[in-house]
Structure 1
Amino acid sequence: RWIKFEEKVEDGGVRWSAPHVPALPLHSLFQLRTCLQKGTMLLDLDALSFKEIINKALSEQPPEAELRPELRGRLAALLLCQPRHQTTKSLLRLLAELALSPCRGKAKSWTDPGAQVSETPLKEQLRNQFQKKVPPGAEAAHVAVGEVEFLEKPFAAFIRLRRGVALGSLAEVTLPSRFLFILLGPRAKVKAYHEVGRAMATLLTDELFQRVAWQAENREDIIAGMEAFLDELTVLPPGKWDPSARIPPPSYLPSPHRRTTTHPSDRQLHGDGDTSAAGDRAGLGDPRSGEELERTGRLFGGLLRDIRRKAPWYGSDFSDALHPQCLSAVLYIYLATVTNAITFGGMLGDATANMQGVLENFLGTAFAGSIFCLFSGQPLTILSSTGPVLVFERLLFSFSQDHSLDYLEFRLWIGLWVAFFGVVLVATEASHLVRYFTRFTEEGFCALISLIFIYDSLKKMRSLADAFPINWQYRLDNVTSYGCICNLSSPGTALAPGRVGEGLGGPQVSGHDPSSPPALSLQHPPTLAGLSRTQCLARGGHLLGTSCQYVPDVTLISFLLFGVTFLSCTAFKRFRSSRYFPAAVRKLVSDFAIILTILASCAIDATLGLETPKLLVPSELKPTNPARGWIIFPFGANPWWVCLVSAVPAVLVTILIFMDQQITAVILNRREYKLQKGAGFHLDLLCVSLLMVVTSATGLPWYVSATVISLAHMESLRKESVTSAPGEHPEFLGIREQRLTGLAVFVLMGVSVFMAPLLKHIPMPVLYGVFLHMGVVALNSIQLTDRVRLLLMPAKHQPDLPYLRHVPLRRVHLFTVIQLLCLALLWVIKSTVAAIIFPVMV
């Protein structure tokens, strides 16, 4: 059987083989062409049953191939016999049949010998699990070949029905049938007819030949379609490979469009290599080719165009979210956003004397993110605090302290100026400058943010190790010195050694030699208190106390949870493409990979019972610094001229916000994501600018698009084809574009204050592991990572990538090295006070 690739019934006759690329003898194709040239051909036949089709095929034979009347009857009876099918059964049904087989004896075929094709589907056809693999709208084609003793010459017929007709029990599954090919004849060479039938089935699965077969008006059109197929045929020499070897299906197949527009022989004859190069480059995706960034020449022209483009989709932005995958995305991005808010909130609190802290970051993220998801042009974007904004806040607070200015009032005026400049940029359609952001810029920015996520997750684990230091001086033989009592067998006798101090990481042994007796409490004789664990047990005593059993260190378990979380996230995400379990189970596990990992890690932590650091969120709605309120007044604390001077730093912040927002928007709207609802560069920038007014007036942090979390959001909403032919990889259909997941994430952020009792059970190392996973996934999604691997790979082992076909390898390496040097420069800038200008440097 074929859908796209060939499957054979194995020699045991009970299972189908793995799908593979059909390898055809060249001679069978020539014989097939002869059959099409000389045999019966009926195009657009009107028939409603298989019996009617056979009768017309036998009665309308060419004169030179016409059979005697008595042979027609025998041939018709043979063709109308019910074929045997190897049905695909579910695992539960196989187990049930296996359990009942001793009672039933030998399994019976679901067709009786000599039975004719039924006009209605059989129940075995309706229960066939193979139906799930058939794409929607597919039609069946039947190929019947074989040797018949009573025929003196071959009988061949190619039939195309005018309409797809369900032919009862003829097919393995219940599908309408359109094409039939019959080849019966006397005994010939071994498998000669069989190979001709395989050639015909392979032709019918070729997309270009299907078009020809559908539209052909006569025999010559069918022959021409086969000749075109032969023109593209590749022949393997017989002594250089094993014909019995099954070629596995390739990961990628050329599209029919490329096969029709570019022909290998034409390229060689005419030297036209640019066509193929252009085709390969077209697949890379260019976000700047759409009309989203075309200038209209009118004030707010781009904004109005964004609104007109997004308005028709607004209703579907909510209805498209009614899918279980969106629930997984909400929980995943919510936990990532909570962790990010706590991290940046803590750093903001340290940089601004708690004028902005964790609570302010929670409330600001919830408000700004919700408004952005409701009204933005690309609602899949996740807003968050970013590193350059944090650096600016630190510098601004220091400047305010040095010059006796009120920090929040000064910041309010800067935010108002930034909002004004942002509206001006929207009005003048400045977002069209995004056209000049190249792959070099996008990859450098994305790689830097991804590396920051990876570095910060490792840095957090390092700081956790400093807070809970490992007790390197622990000795099992001196366990009695850790508050453990040696109880001798003599009645009423107990020895209690003095206790040494216990630090964050567990008991801390003093600096003396571990083999020497530990320090003693004054009320116990030193000679008795010096007993070690071995000596206590040798005297017949036993150990009493909570410290007698060895307890692993908090840091070690935290690193274990960190590593398990990262590896489990990666493994569960890749589980979709594994060989185990049905496709529905693999998809479900992959969609909920992050949530399953977090639940499993929390269960491990709860089982161990160690006091690992947990997620702590604010539980009271009051400013972190009691000296400030929720509303910032523009006048009163600073001189009047501050409102004018604030325009100077506001220009720098505007450039920072514009670059950060638009580079992220370009990355998210790339063509390879197959977004259908369009982008909204001008509308997004307007939303971010107007939100600056509210967050500045309430003393909340400023927000801009978070690259890595936004990419993780899109990755969690990937759509793939539900049904795929055997051997065919699931097709990427695009992203589930909607507003509800982001909105739900930020609403949950707002109510997190009331969920503190539940969230406190999540260990921080688990969330750091999720952060590491997000950074690694984002880093692997860019071409730069592939080219870095090429630097370490000999040329003979390098993969067949499109750009390696058209660009010399040394130039690829030169481009990669320059990109790495620029990335290193950005990292240095990011690590200094000059980090505020890093978006401009990008």
Structure 2
Amino acid sequence: MWSRWVKFEEKVEEGGERWSKPHVSTLSLHSLFELRTCIQTGTVLLDLEGYSLPQIVGEQHKLLYEGMLSPDLREKISFVLLRKHRHQTKKPIHRSLADMGKASGGGARECPSFMKKIPRDAEASNVLVGEVDFLDKPFVAFVRLAQATTLGGLTEVPVPTRFLFILLGPTGKAKSYNQIGRAIATLMVDDLFSDVAYKARDREDLIAGIDEFLDEVIVLPPGEWDPKIRIEPPKKVTSADKRLDSRGGGLAEDEEMPVAHELGEELAHTGRFCGGLFLDIKRKIPWLLSDFYEGFHIQSISAVLFIYLGCITNAITFGGLLGDATDNYQGVMESFLGTALSGTVFCLFSGQPLIILSSTGPILIFEKLLFEFSKNNGIDYMELRLWIGIHSCLQCFLLVATDASYIIKYMTRFTEEGFSSLISFIFISDAIKKMVGHTHAYYVTAYKCECLAPDPSESILGLDWSQLSKKECVKYGGSLVGNTCKYVPDLALMSFILFFGTYSMTVSLKKFKFSRYFPTKLRKLISDFSIFMAIMTFVGLDRLIGLKTPKLIVPTEFKPTRPDRGWIVLPFGKNPWWVYLASFVPALLVTILIFMDQQISAVIVNRKENKLRKGCGYHLDLFWVGVLMAACSFLGLPWYVAATVISIAHIDSLKMESESSAPGEQPQFLGVREQRLTGILVFVLTGVSIFLAPVLQFIPMPVLYGVFLYMGVASLSGIQFWERIKLYMMPSKYQPDFPFLRHVPLRRVHLFTLVQIICLAVLWVLKSTVLAILFPVMILGLLVVRKMLDMVFSQHDLAWIDDILPGKDKKKEKKKKKGDKDDTKKKDKKKGRADDSEDEVINVRFYCHQLAGLEKNNSC
């Protein structure tokens, strides 16, 4: 039998030069029963002292006393087991590991790539099966060594051996022996059975472990599948803990209720003055040092480059729009400086430094309306804006002091996904609209060229001269007039190539880590730097073609956009005294906007799916946003709040995955590289961008719009709302196997999705009108809509397609407590053991209820 298992099975293909692709072991049910019989009737030697294969085989004299072998067969079996072992290798000329003797590290030098896939401190189980002509009945032995020992060339790689399974039998049953060997090998890589094998005290314990394994075996009916097909390893393997819960009488995996809606202790209402703020500070201080040194990783470089380009594009876009809306009181320079200042301070001192601050659409509309109001009423805009910022800052402090962030607990998936989907669609829409707008502005009117007839009063050949091409115009004797009449390539087409090319290449390279080509580290490196590589590729293409596509324009001088204003805004002297007090009212609207934008974005970033381990700080974040509101108001800079899409992109660029520790094992998501360094570097680079203008001016705007498009599309991934929207266009048999589809009728899922779509459409219409200033109030309105859904949908349905509101958790807790009491009573009945030693507790945990019917049972 030429096979090996690390977690999945690999076989030596015909010719012995290639190991097969890792695949899930498919065992016949008959082989498992035969294995059980082998363990039941064969020899089981546990904690055998042995330091070499000859010594271990020599210990087999113990079998003589069990009457299983005659003395004349002992030498023959020893001879077979001690023969030189030869291993299959990829190269026929490669020496077998047995020839290397017991030299330490020899196998490691020959098999470095395979050794990397073996977990640290791994131990081997050697399965030796075969047929011989001197036995009349099978000889079976299961041996567990007291200490793991390197047995020379017995193993393919220099991994110490802990278990031996030997099966030798008469000729004619090689296929059956092979299947039994595959069965024990598969059991030994099973997490739960391997624990049983390590802790077993006698034969009955091993048999109970096999019975437990059989309880979980799923049988595939013959004739309904091809046994020659090798099943691909799953992307995610069920954890041992879940399997244990299922054994304990809990719900099966497809019957488990979804995880309860819980945002963590960070949003607990302390009832003390600034209680939440002090807890946030206390929570973050222990991580302060690691927040910096954990940022020193090559992955951080790609994250900085990606987010930096997104931030400067956003700063230029909003800066230009602010300049138009405020008559250049705020412009691109103020946008760059404000982004750098606010972002750097926030990343240094905030509770969640992975959040990226930016200007938002509702703030832009508020600034426009405020400027028009000031202009029409003879009020100084900058001074009024300063007092609004001061009042808003104080209101944010009041919200922090009273733990007002507690309200976020009532924002379920319905509100979170509606908000994040809206922001994602805005990013996608804006990227396309800006692309189309630039196309019209730069490439249509600028290169308009018409053909005029030789004599306008005559119509030669009945031609429409204005529609003729340059070549046709010259052919018929016409004259060319316009801004330019030389031949100009199609810049619109080139811009769209840069736009969609950047997006497509980024998506393709991002998925490259799942490709089958090249080593894992190289694929991951390409995936991490996908955005940077795409940008550099199409910047190079643009330079190679040499067309005058619109480029990134960065300010080159450090001075306010408007010449008649300075960097400091004075609070007194230009407006009546009552303005200082009346500004409290518009500040209240700004505070609601800031609070909702900031906290919803923070909830999305701090989702449990992201596996953040350092905690978050909703109160601390809002405190610094308030401080920065006042600081930016004094400097005449834009106001900033958490940017949902860019923050999600920041999270995605810092995700960590496990390095595959077994052949065929899929990388598992481990969490996010939580640190402050990437955010700080992004905003510092944004601040010094005015000195990088000679380099940045080569980046075409269509390339950056492609990055914007990618951010918007990528942020939709993983949103259940978006997945449910796509279900409308799928026939039932082609719909993915989502858990909520197993438990909620499809028509109810569609109804819930329709309500979300209507809410999203209303928000979309509002954000495009003057009423966009009421956007934060409409977000609060989503909470009301969600509360009303409790009257339309059952709590069971809402638990699967949304979250249960906090007020509904009390009933669930009562049921849970009642269920826990029942489970405790059942466990107490089962655990009627004589003593409470550690070994017996472990045995009861794994297979106590299986041993109930066996004789000589001392553990239950």
Shorter-chain TM range is 0.7 to 0.9
Unpaired runs of at least 5, structure 2: 455-463, 780-860
Q: Counterparts of 1:575 and 1:793 in 2: how far apart (Å)?
A: 27
User: CA 1:14–1:293 in 2, change beyond 3 Å: closer, same or farther?
Assistant: same
Per the alignment, residue 129 of structure 2 pairs with 145
Query: Which runs of structure 2 are paired with 1:82-93 in the superposition (5 Å)?
Result: 82-87=84-89
Q: Counterparts of 1:147 and 1:402 in 2: how far apart (Å)?
A: 100
Query: Which runs of structure 2 are paired with 1:223-262 in the superposition (5 Å)?
Result: 223-262=207-246
Per the alignment, residue 24 of structure 1 pairs with 27
Query: Which runs of structure 2 are paired with 1:231-630 in the superposition (5 Å)?
Result: 231-263=215-247, 277-279=255-257, 281-282=258-259, 286=261, 288=263, 290-470=264-444, 511=466, 513-514=468-469, 518=473, 551-630=488-567
Q: Counterparts of 1:826 and 1:372 in 2: how far apart (Å)?
A: 29
Per the alignment, residue 705 of structure 1 pairs with 642
The match for 1:111 among 79, 86, 96 is: 96
Q: Deviations over 1:94-119 (max 9, x none)?
A: 8xxxxxxxxxxxx434129x959636
Per the alignment, residue 67 of structure 1 pairs with 69
User: CA 1:656–1:372 in 2, change beyond 3 Å: closer, same or farther?
Assistant: same
The question of whether the paired residues in 2 share the 8 Å contact of 1:147 and 1:186 is answered with yes
CA shift, 1:46, in A, is 2.7
Using the size of structure 1 for normalisation, the TM-score is 0.87
Task: Tell me the SS of whatever aligns to 1:248.
Answer: coil
1:812 equivalent to 2:749? Answer yes
User: CA 1:443–1:62 in 2, change beyond 3 Å: closer, same or farther?
Assistant: farther
Letter in 2 for 1:563: F
Query: Which runs of structure 2 are paired with 1:129-140 in the superposition (5 Å)?
Result: 129-140=113-124
Letter in 2 for 1:182: I
Task: Tell me the SS of whatever aligns to 1:297.
Answer: coil
Unpaired runs of at least 5, structure 1: 89-93, 95-106, 483-496, 499-508, 520-525, 533-545
Per the alignment, residue 820 of structure 2 pairs with none
Q: Counterparts of 2:725 and 2:101 in 1: how far apart (Å)?
A: 61
1:647 equivalent to 2:574? Answer no
Per the alignment, residue 659 of structure 1 pairs with 596
Q: Deviations over 1:513-532 (max 9, x none)?
A: 4489748xxxxxx99x7799
Q: How many residues align?
A: 764
The question of whether the paired residues in 2 share the 8 Å contact of 1:39 and 1:62 is answered with no
The question of whether the paired residues in 2 share the 8 Å contact of 1:618 and 1:753 is answered with yes
User: CA 1:176–1:109 in 2, change beyond 3 Å: closer, same or farther?
Assistant: same
Task: Tell me the SS of whatever aligns to 1:240.
Answer: coil
Q: Counterparts of 2:688 and 2:137 in 1: how far apart (Å)?
A: 82
Q: Counterparts of 1:743 and 1:602 in 2: how far apart (Å)?
A: 26
Q: Counterparts of 1:465 and 1:389 in 2: how far apart (Å)?
A: 27
The question of whether the paired residues in 1 share the 8 Å contact of 2:724 and 2:750 is answered with yes
The question of whether the paired residues in 1 share the 8 Å contact of 2:107 and 2:156 is answered with no
CA shift, 1:768, in A, is 0.2
Deviates more, 1:182-191 or 1:161-170: 161-170
Q: Counterparts of 2:658 and 2:471 in 1: how far apart (Å)?
A: 69
Task: Tell me the SS of whatever aligns to 1:44.
Answer: strand
CA shift, 1:263, in A, is 5.0
Per the alignment, residue 681 of structure 1 pairs with 618
The question of whether the paired residues in 2 share the 8 Å contact of 1:183 and 1:193 is answered with yes
Task: Tell me the SS of whatever aligns to 1:158.
Answer: strand
Letter in 1 for 2:6: I
Q: Counterparts of 2:231 and 2:614 in 1: how far apart (Å)?
A: 40
Q: Counterparts of 2:332 and 2:479 in 1: how far apart (Å)?
A: 51
Letter in 1 for 2:120: P
Task: Tell me the SS of whatever aligns to 1:641.
Answer: helix
User: CA 1:337–1:122 in 2, change beyond 3 Å: closer, same or farther?
Assistant: same
The question of whether the paired residues in 2 share the 8 Å contact of 1:49 and 1:119 is answered with no
1:11 equivalent to 2:34? Answer no
Q: Counterparts of 2:277 and 2:448 in 1: how far apart (Å)?
A: 66
Task: Tell me the SS of whatever aligns to 2:272.
Answer: coil
User: CA 1:405–1:263 in 2, change beyond 3 Å: closer, same or farther?
Assistant: same
Q: Counterparts of 1:455 and 1:406 in 2: how far apart (Å)?
A: 35
Q: Counterparts of 1:379 and 1:73 in 2: how far apart (Å)?
A: 70
1:37 equivalent to 2:46? Answer no
Q: Counterparts of 1:137 and 1:681 in 2: how far apart (Å)?
A: 41
Letter in 1 for 2:551: K
- The two structures, once aligned, show a CA RMSD in angstroms of 2.6
Letter in 1 for 2:80: L
Q: Counterparts of 1:810 and 1:563 in 2: how far apart (Å)?
A: 37
The match for 1:76 among 75, 78, 94 is: 78
The question of whether the paired residues in 2 share the 8 Å contact of 1:121 and 1:168 is answered with no
CA shift, 1:473, in A, is 10
The question of whether the paired residues in 2 share the 8 Å contact of 1:359 and 1:624 is answered with yes
Using the size of structure 2 for normalisation, the TM-score is 0.85
Q: Counterparts of 1:361 and 1:473 in 2: how far apart (Å)?
A: 32
Letter in 2 for 1:761: F
Per the alignment, residue 535 of structure 1 pairs with none
Q: Counterparts of 1:794 and 1:263 in 2: how far apart (Å)?
A: 36
The question of whether the paired residues in 1 share the 8 Å contact of 2:277 and 2:619 is answered with yes
CA shift, 1:286, in A, is 4.4
Task: Tell me the SS of whatever aligns to 1:310.
Answer: helix
The question of whether the paired residues in 2 share the 8 Å contact of 1:28 and 1:195 is answered with yes
Per the alignment, residue 632 of structure 1 pairs with 569
1:47 equivalent to 2:50? Answer yes
The question of whether the paired residues in 2 share the 8 Å contact of 1:80 and 1:117 is answered with no
1:159 equivalent to 2:143? Answer yes
The match for 2:688 among 743, 746, 751 is: 751
The question of whether the paired residues in 2 share the 8 Å contact of 1:155 and 1:183 is answered with yes
Task: Tell me the SS of whatever aligns to 1:162.
Answer: strand
Task: Tell me the SS of whatever aligns to 1:163.
Answer: strand
User: CA 1:51–1:120 in 2, change beyond 3 Å: closer, same or farther?
Assistant: farther
The question of whether the paired residues in 2 share the 8 Å contact of 1:135 and 1:723 is answered with no
Task: Tell me the SS of whatever aligns to 2:144.
Answer: strand
The question of whether the paired residues in 2 share the 8 Å contact of 1:87 and 1:172 is answered with no
Q: Deviations over 1:712-741 (max 9, x none)?
A: 000000100112422221000000000000
Q: Deviations over 1:226-272 (max 9, x none)?
A: 001111111122222222221222233222222222259x67xxxx6
The question of whether the paired residues in 2 share the 8 Å contact of 1:80 and 1:116 is answered with no
Q: Counterparts of 1:129 and 1:84 in 2: how far apart (Å)?
A: 20
The question of whether the paired residues in 2 share the 8 Å contact of 1:126 and 1:174 is answered with no
CA shift, 1:471, in A, is 8.6
CA shift, 1:64, in A, is 4.1
Per the alignment, residue 822 of structure 1 pairs with 759
Letter in 2 for 1:359: M
Q: Deviations over 1:109-139 (max 9, x none)?
A: 4129x95963644346543421122233332
Q: Deviations over 1:543-567 (max 9, x none)?
A: xxx998x652111100010010000
Task: Tell me the SS of whatever aligns to 1:108.
Answer: coil
User: CA 1:530–1:426 in 2, change beyond 3 Å: closer, same or farther?
Assistant: closer
Q: Deviations over 1:722-779 (max 9, x none)?
A: 1242222100000000000000000001100100000001111000001000100001
User: CA 1:85–1:125 in 2, change beyond 3 Å: closer, same or farther?
Assistant: farther
